[in-house]
Amino acid sequence: MANRLRRWRAAARSWSVQARLLRERRLIAGSGLFDESLYLFEAPDVMREEAEPIEHFCRFGWREGRRPNLYFDPLWYRDRYLEGADRNPLVHYLTIGESAGCRPVCYFDPHWYARTYRLPSRANALAHYLAHRRSQRFAPNPDFDLAFYLDRYGVEIGPNRDPFAHHLRFGAARDIDPSPHFDAGHYRKSTMTDLTPETRTPWAAADLRVPLVHYLDTQYRRS
């Protein structure tokens, strides 16, 4: 009897886990927040294994710090809002987090974005930005002056490209100013004494070498 009860409990736990994973996969698949191309580009092992990307993310990927899109850091989010709990950060963001003012990463401010661009009350700010970021009409945060940036680097960026992604890619190496009010070179020299920040993923470390990202992360930690 005891053995049968243990087997039943183990089977029930397995069914519960499978049902939860199915719900998470469906939620994420319909959210507009999962960039399959980016996920596979950053995780060639997943491509080699021919794993389904969203399922891999729900089972393993977020725990390994793999990004579902360019503007969501699962480990950063978990550390700040979930106290390190073993809970899918992207699911939390979709169901609770954004409406509560949680940021998916330090350089995207969903409440500011929704107010600035007058989104409908039920709209997901991050999904809207991801769908329109290449239009060059929307900024992810108030410290990134889109008109200023495009005036300086628009030709270099070219059409149908994400200006802030350009800043993430080249901002550290060239100390590119994100606005007329932020001197990236001065900020680096005066503030960024630690150029090897403690992060869990190489791309997160690269982001924190960008002066604006370092500033936003520092300010958000203090708030």
| pLDDT of 198 higher than 90 | no
Residue 48 lies in a domain: yes
Q: Does any domain span residue 108?
A: yes
Are residues 128 and 176 located together in one domain of the fold?
no
128 and 155 belong to one structural domain: no
- pLDDT(97) > 80: yes
The answer to whether residue 138 is domain-embedded is no
218 part of a folded domain: yes
More confident residue, 47 or 42: 42
The Cα angle at residue 170 between residues 223 and 134, in degrees rounded to 5: 80
Q: Flag whether 47 is in a domain.
A: yes
For residue 209, tell me if it sits in a domain.
Answer: yes
19 found inside a domain? yes
Q: Which among 133, 154, 171 is the end of a domain?
A: 133
Say if residue 114 is in the same domain as residue 153: no
* 177 vs 205: which has the higher pLDDT: 177
Report the domain count for the chain: 2
Say yes or no to pLDDT of 5 above 70: no
> Could you tell me if 91 and 178 lie in one domain?
no
Could you tell me which residue, 15 or 222, shows the higher pLDDT? 222
pLDDT digits (tens, 9 = 90+) for 117-140: 999 999 999 999 999 999 999 999
Cross-strand pairs, 182: 179
pLDDT at 3: 53
Contacts of 128-131 with CB under 8 Å at 24 or more apart are: 129/71, 130/32, 130/33, 130/35, 130/69, 130/70, 130/71, 131/32
**pLDDT interval class at 189 (50, 70, 90):** very high
Q: Please answer whether residues 32 and 130 qualify as being in contact, where contact means their C-beta atoms are separated by less than 8 angstroms.
A: yes
On the question of pLDDT at 56 being above 60, the answer is yes
What residue numbers bound the domain in which 71 lies?
A: 1-133
Q: Are residues 178 and 152 in the same domain?
A: yes
Does residue 180 sit in the same domain as residue 213?
yes
Q: What does the pLDDT read at residue 18?
A: 87
| pTM score above 0.85 | yes
Instruction: Mark whether 13 and 119 lie in a shared domain.
Output: yes
